[in-house]
Structure 1
Amino acid sequence: MRDMIRYLNQPLRASALCTGALLCLALGAPPPAQANQGQLDGVKQEISRQQSQVSANKKKVDSLQQALRKQETSIAKTAKAIHDAENQHAKLSSSIKTLEQQQRQLEQQQLGQQELLKELLNAQYKQGKNSQLALLLGNSDHHKLDRYTVYAEHLSQARIKALDELAATTTEIQLKQHQLESQRQQQTTLLAKLTKEKTQLEAEQRQRQKTVRSLTGQIRSDSQYLAELKDNEKRLVKEIARAKAAAAEAARRAPMNGLSKHKGKLAWPVKGPVIHSYNSQQQGELRWKGMVIGQQTGNPVKAVYSGKVVFADWLRGYGLMVVVDHGKGDMSFYGYNQTLLKKVGDTVQANESIALVGDSGGQDRSALYFEIRRKGTPTNPTSWLTR
């Protein structure tokens, strides 16, 4: 069928091509007398059937892409919850460790205060044997009596202070114990939540894999795949236009200096093997506008330079993508992510985590799609990164 259509599109004269009913009909020339009307009708029906099939396939692909978007967005939400919970768990663990250390120090302090109180009580007891009454009865001199009185007052004040400090330490130990118990309970609850969310994530990923397999099976031919890639690129260009408008508005409020002074100095967004390099063949005449860097799912994706997030959403063909505007028309793109850690309007710093590596967009392996554009034109990202 494709060969026939190509043949029909050749710029030859109608009279030279009228060797069959379909060809003559398509070129506007009268069919030969011997042409069979039944054959013409059959070819027309075949053309109609092929067109209907193409239309049905496109609808099926669109439907599967919508399902993929829904699944990958759900996975992103679950993965983000897991990421946040793991961070919270790490903070709790650190806090618990600090509390335990403080508790041990307080217990040591309590032991010291108890020993001091024992000494004070013993000294006060011994001093009591030489009470003022005994001294008076013994005709002791008044200077010595004054000294004993002052000493007794100091002992009493020291004992009261030691008791107060011991009580305060005991109360603080009880407070630390309560905090420890509360945080350990939070940790237990958090671990149960993490286990549940990870189970949910695994189920969502299995469902996604089914959709990806169906999608791959639906886009069978090279021409269908090429058409899908071209459409994806058009979608990206459309979003770039929107992002540029947002960036222009942001620059008006807070100008940024762009990337021009940092060529060859930017840190890599992730470390890993380059699976597809810039300008290498992607499919047919299409070439990669960025690069694809292999890395395990869940590893952090870092912003290569400071800027403002102007796009953070799922984009067909690129999955969950973050676009950072660096000013002066310079933007960096990070696609295929498992989840996004930033939203539109967020300010980010160089080397700050903005996403987690994934395989969204229907990719068959975990990696990061990375691209740099200057005034909307792709440029080789490798030349901007440190060697």
Structure 2
Amino acid sequence: MRALFYRTYCTLRASAFGTGALLCLAFSSLVLADNQNQLEGMKQEIVRQQQQLSHKKQQLSEVQKTLKRQELAIASTAGNIRQAEQKIDTLTRSISQLEKEQQALVQRQIGQREQLKALITSHYKLGKASPLANLLGENDASQLERMTEYAARLTLARSKALDELAATDTEIQLKKHQLTEQRRTQQNLLAQLKKDRASLLTRQKARQSTVRQLQGQLSADKRYLTELKDNETRLVSEIAKARKAAEEAARRAQVRMSGLNTLKGKLPWPVKGSVIHNYGSPLKGELRWKGMVISKSIGSEVKAVHDGKVVFADWLRGYGLMVAIDHGHGDMSFYGYNQTVLKKVGDTVRANEAIALVGDSGGQEAPGLYFEIRRKGTPTNPRPWLTR
């Protein structure tokens, strides 16, 4: 507008004064140059802001990648700890059983020694009344025959007792060896468990730092809202892939894939705890929760709500380590925020079977379970499906 005003003004001046026209033309050139500079400046600012936005997105992506690496490492360590604890528990029971068996063998050994002692004493007493003495004495032939038979049986019993005692001694030595080996294995597992727990603690601290960095990246409401929308898009995309895999698995399934249609109000809770976010409650802006979040201590077992096949078991941005189970007829259940998963894609699971351990993955501030039910791809309120 300013340039147009000066051009009009200069045209009028040029009709009246010749010299003034030259001055106006020069001035107009300066104004146009100024406008051009402003336009270039605006273009540069737009480019700068776009570059800054791109840089922030890249930074956010890098933080998410770091979080994923850390949480997968935590999942691996947590899985190792669970396996070690189970092995230690099995070994402890085995050692206890071996100790009982060893005690029983020792008692048997004591009894066998007493029996052998009695047999030797009897044999000694019988030896004092030898067949020759009986022959030269007044004993008749029938008594001599009985004594000879008794002596033979004593000898056989003593030999058998010696064999049994030797066998018991061998068993005791074997039990001692087994106990030594199992106690050594137990100590090694306990030492490794101690290292794994220390490693887990270190990784959890590093993860906390990354979560704080992530929260800083998402501090602006609009940016956080965009991230949540992107997370939902990723979930929908993974569901689409999982449904295709589920349809293929259903054709080969050896597990009942009858869907959830008749089970409303009958499904067991995946974990027992207080609900901190309900289905449909506000999440951010116009977004609402598509599932429910149940508070539970970290490391608690997450149970499948019904029979099915695992079609997804991996880390998903915004949901952390997630397990998805296909129940047939388009019904699927989802379990997110886990510390580690105990199943892999293709595994058959039964209702109330442990499939994961509760965690805070996906950048959550507190441990809990994200639980969602979808029917033919559409989220539905999971609460009415669970037992009261």
Mapped to 1, the partners of 2:241 and 2:361 lie a distance apart of: 22
The Cα of 1:195 is off from its aligned counterpart by 1.1
Equivalent residue, structure 1, for 2:196: 197
SS in 2 for 1:368: strand
Mapped to 2, the partners of 1:47 and 1:296 lie a distance apart of: 48
Equivalent residue, structure 2, for 1:280: 281
Mapped to 2, the partners of 1:224 and 1:266 lie a distance apart of: 37
The C-alpha deviation readout for 1:339-358, integer Å capped at 9, x for no partner, is 11111111111111111111
The C-alpha deviation readout for 1:115-171, integer Å capped at 9, x for no partner, is 111111111111112221111111421211121122112211211111111111111
Equivalent residue, structure 2, for 1:244: 243
Query: What's the C-alpha RMSD, in Å, of the aligned pairs?
Result: 1.8
Task: Report 1:304-323 matches (<5 A).
Answer: 304-323=305-324
SS in 2 for 1:369: strand
TM-score, normalised relative to structure 1: 0.89
Task: Report 1:297-376 matches (<5 A).
Answer: 297-376=298-377
Equivalent residue, structure 2, for 1:165: 164
SS in 1 for 2:259: coil
1:63 partnered with 2:62: yes
The Cα of 1:214 is off from its aligned counterpart by 1.0
Mapped to 2, the partners of 1:155 and 1:380 lie a distance apart of: 83
The Cα of 1:74 is off from its aligned counterpart by 0.9
Equivalent residue, structure 2, for 1:215: 214
Mark the runs of 5 or more structure 1 residues left unpaired by the alignment: 1-17, 20-32
Equivalent residue, structure 1, for 2:15: none
Mapped to 2, the partners of 1:118 and 1:261 lie a distance apart of: 73
Equivalent residue, structure 2, for 1:155: 154
The Cα of 1:41 is off from its aligned counterpart by 4.2
- Which amino acid in structure 1 is aligned with residue 238 of structure 2? E
SS in 2 for 1:261: coil
Mark the runs of 5 or more structure 2 residues left unpaired by the alignment: 3-30
- Which amino acid in structure 2 is aligned with residue 379 of structure 1? T
TM-score, normalised relative to structure 2: 0.88
1:271 partnered with 2:298: no
The Cα of 1:36 is off from its aligned counterpart by 5.0
Alignment length (residue pairs): 357
- Which amino acid in structure 1 is aligned with residue 271 of structure 2? V
The Cα of 1:39 is off from its aligned counterpart by 4.5
The Cα of 1:40 is off from its aligned counterpart by 4.3
Equivalent residue, structure 2, for 1:52: 51
- Which amino acid in structure 2 is aligned with residue 383 of structure 1? P
Mapped to 2, the partners of 1:119 and 1:305 lie a distance apart of: 66
The Cα of 1:52 is off from its aligned counterpart by 2.0
Mapped to 2, the partners of 1:175 and 1:261 lie a distance apart of: 56
Which protein shows a greater Rg?
Answer: 2
What percentage of aligned pairs have identical amino acids?
62
Mapped to 2, the partners of 1:257 and 1:278 lie a distance apart of: 25
Equivalent residue, structure 1, for 2:139: 140
- Which amino acid in structure 1 is aligned with residue 78 of structure 2? A
The Cα of 1:211 is off from its aligned counterpart by 1.2
- Which amino acid in structure 2 is aligned with residue 349 of structure 1? R
Equivalent residue, structure 2, for 1:130: 129
Mapped to 2, the partners of 1:163 and 1:331 lie a distance apart of: 68
- Which amino acid in structure 1 is aligned with residue 169 of structure 2? T
